[in-house]
Structure 1
Amino acid sequence: MVQNRVIMVKHLGLIDYKEALAIQEVYYKTMVDQKHPRATVDPSRQPLASSYLLFCEHPPVYTLGRGGSMNHLLVDAATLATQKITLYHVNRGGDITYHGPGQLVVYPIIDLEFFFRDIHRYLRLLEASVIEMLSHFNIPSTSLPGLTGVWLKADKNSKPFDRKICSIGIRVSRWITMHGLALNVNNELAPFDQIIPCGIPKAVTSMQQELNKSISIMDVSDILAQIILKKLNYV
């Protein structure tokens, strides 16, 4: 197989969740089509499709992954309609989470066959990338055994509880990744009170809440993109 480790970084801005999902699916299908043994176009006569890192924000939306429980949504459809929050059932792993303006969402569409075939290693890479990025802002964070995502540990002096700052939910098919991570930067946290985030009854936080100031999402995006690219190409 011809190795193609090119990864394009794209910023989609504030975009409807369904539209962003459609973009992911287009890139995914293009990559799958080139891997199909009966592809109609000779791969030696066309450039291989790049992998992508898509950065965006979403209008208010709850997404429920495969195997997630509707019991983890604590309000009814009428309440969601009043609040103008959409609910989507999606084909990623994980349970229910919230996306909204001010939250940075990253969708890596990556052919892991060009890097490594190990889904758990990929999940740990995403966690480690967020942890390293947060350290640039002097926010100490960690992963927790058995719980996918990035967390801030309890601080007995001021924050006596563990709190989640980044959720991760992915889908991998034919070694091509979809979906990704959602990092709370400046977004409102109240919508998380209406769900059991990722099915785990723990607190949620944001970079803004931890630092008591607003953070540039573009600065966060640029730092995180460079870290992910570094880890993918040099692990």
Structure 2
Amino acid sequence: MVNALQTRREDPALTSFFAQSGPPAEWRVADSPVPYQDALEVMEKRAADIAAGHAPELVWLLEHPPLYTSGTSARPEDLIDARFPVFATGRGGQFTYHGPGQRVVYLMLDLKRRRPDVRAYVASLEQFTIRALAAFNVRGERREDRVGVWVARPEKGPAHEDKIAAIGVRLKRWVSLHGISINVEPDLSHFSGIIPCGVQDPRHGVTSLVDLGLPVTMHDVDMALKQAFEEVFGA
């Protein structure tokens, strides 16, 4: 049976974002949880430096302490229980949760050097995530009506699928901010304080690599992300 939610066809023109020139992106891994406001300040400063030609692009891998963030489309009623600090952001999307056990990937990329196309950039982030998950034999999928990466869960019932990675971006002078959060081993109960990304269908929940029975480490995920980045974004 064909899934009623059709998977987007992978178009190489949409999912390849190689830079035409310039130095390779810097990779940085935080060794302890980064407070959200501190991360915002780093992103804003680095994005401004990239736009001015004073710094290379940056891919920043980190975790946050438990918190919720709201995007530009967030609805107040989707915040059910503000058990953690809530931060309004300039990124697209609605409410999401960040916390320990979740790999957050902030990408500060110069889309003028790569491709100044927001829709194609989001598709590339989805494909980047899907390729990283494939390293663990997880089949992540994109959906036409829901940004992010999803995993089919037929054992939970017909048409059931869970989100394993959320995506939200912002652009300033064609430099990207924010990015991806991949659930490795977070406390999934913390998502119950919100309606994640505004998706209310009971067939659509959240999952993680460990929830899927894959005891991978954050280092394993980081290595998979580095390989997938080279495939989709180049250096």
Same fold (TM over 0.5): yes
Q: Over residues 25-65 of structure 1, what are the superposed CA-to-partner deviations in whole Å (9 max), with x where a residue is unaligned? A: 1101212334xxxxxxxxxxxxx420010000000000001
| Matched ranges for 1:1-235 at <5 A | 3-13=21-31, 14-34=33-53, 48-76=54-82, 80=83, 85-155=84-154, 158-160=155-157, 161-201=160-200, 202-211=204-213, 213-233=214-234
**Larger mean Cα displacement after TM superposition, 223-232 or 56-65:** 223-232
Q: Over residues 148-197 of structure 1, what are the superposed CA-to-partner deviations in whole Å (9 max), with x where a residue is unaligned? A: 10001241xx2321110000000012110000010000111001111100
* Counterparts of 2:27 and 2:21, CA distance in 1: 19
What residue number does 1:40 align with?
Answer: none
Runs of 4+ in 1 over 3 A off after TM superposition: none
Q: Is contact 1:60–1:100 with CA below 8 Å preserved after alignment?
A: yes
Shift of 1:24: 0.6
**RMSD of aligned Cα (Å):** 1.6
Shift of 1:5: 4.5
> Which has the greater radius of gyration?
1
TM-score of the pair, normalised by structure 1: 0.85
Higher relative contact order (CA 8 A, sep 6+): 2
TM-score of the pair, normalised by structure 2: 0.85
The alignment of Structure 1 onto Structure 2 pairs a total of residues equal to 210
SS in 2 for 1:207: coil
- Structure 1 gap ranges (5+): 35-47
Q: Is contact 1:126–1:228 with CA below 8 Å preserved after alignment?
A: no
Q: Which has the larger share of helix?
A: 1
Q: Over residues 59-94 of structure 1, what are the superposed CA-to-partner deviations in whole Å (9 max), with x where a residue is unaligned? A: 000000113111101125xxx2xxxx2110011000
SS in 1 for 2:156: coil
* Counterparts of 2:52 and 2:127, CA distance in 1: 31
- Structure 2 gap ranges (5+): 1-19
**Percent identical across equivalent pairs?**
31
SS in 1 for 2:165: strand
